[in-house]
Amino acid sequence: MRIYIVIPCHNEADFIGQTLTSLVEQTKVATQIVVVNDQSTDESAAIVATFAKAHPYISLVNTTSSTAHLPGSKVIRAFQKGADTLDDAYDVLCKFDADLIFPTNYLETIARHFEQNSKIGMVGGFCYVEKNGNWSLENLTNKDHIRGALKAYRKACFKAIGGLKAAMGWDTIDELLAQYHDWHIKTNEDLHVQHLKPTGMTYNTAAKWKQGEAFYGMRYGFALTAIAAFKLALRKKKIRYFFDCIEGYFRAKQAQKPYLITSEEGTFVRAHRWKGIRAKIGL
């Protein structure tokens, strides 16, 4: 099974070396790894170049995008830049962040999941963050969701969903569209990945309405948006996050921003979300 990995990287000199070390030490080594240096002003590119010199399957690509560190669009545009340099001979395509340490059996394990069940379209482990010397689950989402930091796609699934959307919410849209196309999502709780830089810690203030805008783009409607925003606010322990989401939703609606999915896909998404909510409350 041929595994290709694309790693967007912006000023990750403190971490990218650890990420690449954990990948070259895998029990099943990736066929190709592309690191996309997106306007880094630190030593990120030099560190990657050193790895590329020692390991021919690692390459460095430079790109220039917006200097604003907004969630979603910047990282996916960098990912696409890297993906465009790859051929089509892969079986699994991964989008990994540049601040992760993978257990040595990570790629071997996800490959085994894909091999054992042809209906599995996406596989991922779980991110853990360091708190007071201990590594604990970065509990920002449900356990049936694969974090955007460590996505792995079967080629047929990736093509069915049309690739990744350059917008916040891309890592939810991909799973919803995968299920729309009858692919299964597989998470493995035994795969503990160390996340060296907690999610969102470098986002600027312009990002605060982006989640609500994403809910609008996913055609959630107001009721689902309010429920999802409330759940996220509770997880983040920031009630202000709820109001920012709602404001973002109405800003997008007033501006009539384009939707991220089709009307038919939106009907599926809403039905799927309501089904999940009813199941959780026992209805």
Do 82 and 222 share a domain, yes or no? no
Do 103 and 223 share a domain, yes or no? no
Do 269 and 226 share a domain, yes or no? yes
Do 272 and 172 share a domain, yes or no? no
- pLDDT value at 24 more than 70: yes
Confidence of residue 73 (pLDDT cuts 50, 70, 90): confident
Do 219 and 163 share a domain, yes or no? no
Do 152 and 15 share a domain, yes or no? yes
Structural domain includes residue 259 = yes
Range of the domain at 222: 208-280
Do 146 and 222 share a domain, yes or no? no
Could you give the CA distance from residue 93 to residue 77 in angstroms, rounded to a whole number? 16
Structural domain includes residue 50 = yes
Do 71 and 160 share a domain, yes or no? yes
What pLDDT does residue 204 have?
A: 47
Single out the residue in 170, 195, 220 at which a domain terminates: 195
Could you give the CA distance from residue 123 to residue 225 in angstroms, rounded to a whole number? 26
235 versus 146: the higher-pLDDT residue is: 146
What pLDDT does residue 139 have?
A: 75
Structural domain includes residue 44 = yes
Could you give the CA distance from residue 87 to residue 188 in angstroms, rounded to a whole number? 28
Tally the domains of the chain. 2
For residues 82 and 35, the answer to whether their CB atoms sit within 8 Å is yes
Structural domain includes residue 203 = no
Q: pLDDT for 182-225, tens place per residue?
A: 999 999 999 999 999 876 544 445 567 888 999 999 999 999 99
Do 81 and 170 share a domain, yes or no? yes
CATH code for the domain of 190: 3.90.550.10
The token pair that represents 240 in the structure block:
């202000």
Confidence of residue 142 (pLDDT cuts 50, 70, 90): confident
Do 178 and 231 share a domain, yes or no? no
DSSP states along 88-114: S--SEEEEE-SSEE--TTHHHHHHHHH
Single out the residue in 195, 218, 251 at which a domain terminates: 195
Do 227 and 125 share a domain, yes or no? no
Structural domain includes residue 69 = yes
What pLDDT does residue 251 have?
A: 94
Structural domain includes residue 87 = yes
Confidence of residue 72 (pLDDT cuts 50, 70, 90): low
Single out the residue in 168, 195, 222 at which a domain terminates: 195
CB neighbours (10 Å) of residue 235? Answer: 13
Structural domain includes residue 202 = no
For the residues 33-53, what does the mean pLDDT come to?
96
Confidence of residue 280 (pLDDT cuts 50, 70, 90): confident
Do 58 and 151 share a domain, yes or no? yes
The burial of 114, by beta-carbon neighbours within 10 Å (0-12 exposed, 13-18 middle, 19 or more buried), is given as buried
Region of 259 on the Ramachandran plot (φ > 0 left; ψ -120 to 50 alpha; else beta): beta
Which positions ≥6 away from 228 have C-beta within 8 Å?
215, 220, 245, 273
The chain-wide mean pLDDT, for the chain, equals 91
Confidence of residue 7 (pLDDT cuts 50, 70, 90): very high
